[in-house]
């Protein structure tokens, strides 16, 4: 059985990327603006016992939001979500995995493609992911796990499918989602909350 990736125009991609960035930013902003700082810090610690990163380090948090938005520029919105889902799976980040699977579904991604990201190589052979998406997912795994570095063949595979600027954006996206994963795992963000 094969499925095809929905074709999107550049305008639709940009709008979808902006919408996803806005959704992520809005979720965080809403959670932090609806209560006073002491209430948020107390509620966060009661839920997780850990620091509320957005409140405790607002400049770093805002800088990461800006980096996240910049990293997405020019990348296909579906690809962005696939990369973020795969990184979140590898980092065991339930909070980010919940967020990005929800965002992908809301953006029109198929249930099958979302469910099969963890086995993208096998699913790619069945036609669920394009060669370009598979190259991006291979690079995501290499950069996320860093098993002795990013092998030349993995990098070269991605370089065949992404022009230089787009490849740089992809690399930025991968290390940005890894940063988000590490913050959420370290602070024990609860899936579906905050």
How much is the pLDDT for 99? 96
- Average pLDDT of adjacent 10-residue blocks, the chain of 194 residues: 37 40 43 40 57 96 97 96 98 97 95 97 96 98 92 98 98 98 96 81
How far apart (Å, rounded) are the C-alpha atoms in residues 141 and 51? 28
The structure's pTM equals 0.77
pLDDT of residue 147: 79
Task: Using DSSP, state whether 59 is helix, strand or coil.
Answer: helix
Q: Which residues make Cβ contacts (< 8 Å) with residue 128, sequence separation at least 6?
A: 2, 3, 112, 113, 116, 120
């Amino acid at each position: 059985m094969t499925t095809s990736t929905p074709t999107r125009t550049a305008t639709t991609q940009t709008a979808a990327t902006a919408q996803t960035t806005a959704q992520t930013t809005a979720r965080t902003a809403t959670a932090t603006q609806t209560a006073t700082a002491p209430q948020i810090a107390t509620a966060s610690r009661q839920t997780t016992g850990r620091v509320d990163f957005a409140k405790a380090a607002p400049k770093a948090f805002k800088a990461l939001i800006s980096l996240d938005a910049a990293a997405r520029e020019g990348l296909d919105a579906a690809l962005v979500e696939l990369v973020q889902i795969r990184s979140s799976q590898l980092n065991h980040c339930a909070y980010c995995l919940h967020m990005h699977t929800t965002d992908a579904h809301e953006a029109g991604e198929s249930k099958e493609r979302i469910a099969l990201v963890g086995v993208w190589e096998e699913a790619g052979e069945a036609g669920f992911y394009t060669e370009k998406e598979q190259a991006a997912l291979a690079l995501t795994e290499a950069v996320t796990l860093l098993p002795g570095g990013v092998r030349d063949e993995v990098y070269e595979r991605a370089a065949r499918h992404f022009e230089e600027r787009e490849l740089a954006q992809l690399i930025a996206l991968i290390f940005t989602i890894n940063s988000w994963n590490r913050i959420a795992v370290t602070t024990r963000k609860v899936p579906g909350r905050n």
